[in-house]
A and B are shown apart, each in its own frame.
Chain A
């Protein structure tokens, strides 16, 4: 009998999983919140705007290839864009809204390929209009082909700030400074890692050349400590930090800009897995709360799989290889997972995942946020934007003995607003650890809805579809 599979997310992991499962003859439904497939990294502009020209040729080729492979099986995949998967229950029911209607799906297997969001470290002024996540600034450029600011300061850790700075320059933008938390040589000092990741390293060097040629000021071991401006961002104050993330006094400089794009790494979009009751583990360097999973993406819940960055942040190349592996695991009968026939057919994907994963492991320290950096959040800094909760409020709750994320939430409402804690939860956890020594942090109870839907859409719900 044909197996029914729902894949959530149409980034590299989800596209690869859907393609593989459809190739193996499964009935595949691919749900994605965007209007076009690609996810964050391979985000496509509105069809009227044509393809992006700012990415490196290697990345453009990967994007083209994965979309083409998906296109080759697209007639056999029920692809649904603009889908809001708002709940997943432990009984295997997936609740999805599409605009004014909604539906309950109950497939044989679910592959969550929901990727990551950017992690915020709140600092004074970070909510000023003009301060964005680096990936958010890149998304504006990719999808709308407009510059998110006239004069930018880019900051943070890992490769994304470098990529975004270069792409903004290529799009005709002005980048006043690129501030990196860590010196680049940390990554370049590991020859084995360089070799394993040569493809990515080569693209990184090309981006760096764009930045150097444009004469952008590059400041290593610097971070933004304050954003200045009321109606709109006017300037950013950068300061030197030591290896522990503590600001070195007396080394501040103010730079005029109308865009500050920051990235301090990522947080896994693991809400659906958590809501379903899947066992979680916490890894601060790999996306925070992650569904515990094995090499074939199996979680603690039968029939629920994870693939790509939601399983542990390791980038697009790992995600694509892993998507194929997990797509195969979801498509075969459960008892055949990992048998000789299956692994033989996946030899290339397994090898590719191992190689790219080794590179990611070698460079993961460049993504690590030192504990001291959380001191950037001052008592007056808003931590939870939805409910306007400042660090002072959170500390007051902690001082009163409210020593868990749930208890802090019930006290000061952090995480109870529109975003359901997606933006602030990691910050509240890290700040609770810094100021009250609460570790390891237990996740706030995950609840429906992952994203809001109307009562009308529920009333218009179709009955559960049993495959």
Chain B
């Protein structure tokens, strides 16, 4: 008896999974693509993040990933045929330094950014406060700013990708569908799914921290662990914070969206894969937030939520084929949404066209952990 067969099975319908499916379908190779997700629409990390994107990085590869992705965001409404709009906001991104060391790091990466055409600039504390009058002066040294950076609605982007995928007769997206077992024999993959088995020629895993458990039975390994985060959204307010903010020391990002609500994503070191809001989270986050932005003391909190992001040993994505031929991974390392267009394009190159020439892809393959050639992004390796 032969199983229902697909050319590519993508596991995970987050930003990486759906973007990969859309780019693969765009190649018009005739490949049949099935995307499965254990949860429901936007229920994973992609649907729970802070929505920001920035080109302000220190490594050429990260800058290029985000530049390519931003070019896509700017034309995505047309490319994805999504007239509802993606809530793309380009009011800039201000990366704040609250120590001389952090400020020196921002200064050190500026030449790379400028060489690649990122219109970033360094601001002192006064200039930061002029840009965001509510900023607290406490320990503030300065920041770097890029006016082209901004945010995009995760829900809208995922919905636009989903609808575009579903318009393509060669793509099927199934939610509430779990991979029970993944095996390989005779050059193809036999996959037990909720609702019945399928056979796939190639498999792309886009489940971030859940990738290792899918790989283990096949004897393959990718080093990635979960990174739980929690977020806060306030009631709508008149504009208080125009650019997106991130503070390297507070480990907080701030995004006031168009409807006026202010979204805070707070990283707090903890383990596990729970998306529940934790009881002591607000008591942990509120003093940091009012230290960063003192006028927030009077702003009512509307809601909190949790999400589970992922992190790799060098905090860089892992993109490429594993030791098992035909089995690929795309692991985001907590910047999935902002890099998803470029990564989707690369995975289509790789999985559909067998094209391994992309220089970024060459650096981000899973083999780097075996050879020890880890990548150091200066803006992610703050003490």
Residues of A bordering B, CB below 8 Å: 87, 89, 91, 93, 95, 104, 400-404, 406-407, 410-411, 416-418, 420, 447-449, 452-456, 458-459, 461
Contact = CB atoms under 8 A, between A and B. Distances in A.
Contacts of A452: 235, 300-302
Contacts of A448: 277, 282, 303-304
Given A401-B166, A458-B283, A459-B290, A449 B43 contact: no
Nearest to A459: B286
Contact of B279 (A91, A407, A453): A91
B300 to A, nearest CB: 4
B287 interface: yes
B335 to A, nearest CB: 21
A420 B43 contact: no
Contacts of A406: 40-41, 43
B252 to A, nearest CB: 12
Contacts of B297: 454-456, 459
Contact of A400 (B163, B287, B301): B163
Given A407-B43, A417-B302, 12 more contacts: A93-B279, A400-B159, A400-B162, A400-B163, A407-B40, A407-B42, A410-B159, A448-B304, A454-B298, A455-B297, A455-B301, A459-B286
Contacts of A104: 279, 283
B296 interface: yes
Contacts of B283: 104, 458, 461
23 contacts: A95-B282, A104-B279, A400-B159, A400-B163, A401-B166, A402-B41, A407-B41, A407-B43, A411-B159, A418-B235, A418-B302, A420-B302, A420-B303, A447-B303, A447-B305, A448-B277, A452-B235, A453-B300, A454-B298, A455-B286, A455-B297, A455-B298, A456-B298
A87 B280 CA distance: 11
Given A410-B47, A461-B283, A447 B41 contact: no
B282 A447 contact: no
Given A404-B40, A459-B286, A411 B279 contact: no
Contact of A458 (B43, B277, B282, B305): B282
Contacts of A416: 303
Given A455-B290, A455-B296, A447 B155 contact: no
Contacts of B301: 449, 452-455, 458
Interface string B139-155: 00000000000000001
A454 B293 CA distance: 13
Nearest to A86: B301
A416 B153 CA distance: 14
Given A91-B279, A448-B277, A456 B162 contact: no
Nearest to A277: B276
A244 B40 CA distance: 33
Contacts of A449: 301-304
A447 B286 contact: no
A411 B299 contact: no
A404 B40 CA distance: 8
A206 B283 CA distance: 53
A436 B283 CA distance: 41
B286 A458 contact: yes
Contacts of A417: 302
B73 to A, nearest CB: 19
A453 B304 CA distance: 12
Highest count of chain A CB atoms <10 Å: which of B41, B163, B166, B297: B41
Nearest to A408: B41
Highest count of chain A CB atoms <10 Å: which of B158, B283, B296: B283
Nearest to A451: B300
Contacts of A418: 235, 302
10 closest cross-chain pairs (CB), A and B: A456-B297, A452-B300, A458-B286, A407-B41, A89-B279, A410-B42, A410-B155, A93-B279, A455-B286, A455-B296
Nearest to B232: A455
Contacts of A404: 40-41
Interface string B157-184: 0110011001000000001000000000
Contacts of B241: none
A212 B162 CA distance: 59
Contacts of B162: 400-401
B325 to A, nearest CB: 34
A418 B283 CA distance: 22
A95 B162 CA distance: 39
Contact of B304 (A401, A410, A447): A447
A447 B276 CA distance: 8
A278 B41 CA distance: 24
Highest count of chain B CB atoms <10 Å: which of A401, A418, A452, A458: A458
B289 interface: yes
Contacts of B302: 417-418, 420, 449, 452
Contact of A459 (B287, B300, B305): B287
B290 A456 contact: yes
Contacts of B41: 402, 404, 406-407, 410-411
A406 B44 CA distance: 12
Contacts of B290: 455-456, 459
B276 to A, nearest CB: 8
Contacts of B287: 459
A286 B283 CA distance: 36
Nearest to B304: A448
A404 B42 CA distance: 12
B161 to A, nearest CB: 12
A402 to B, nearest CB: 5
A400 B173 CA distance: 12
A93 B305 CA distance: 17
Interface string B255-294: 0000000000000000000000101001100110110000
Contacts of A458: 282-283, 286, 301
Highest count of chain B CB atoms <10 Å: which of A404, A410, A411: A410
B22 to A, nearest CB: 15
A454 B40 contact: no
Contact of B299 (A95, A410, A454): A454
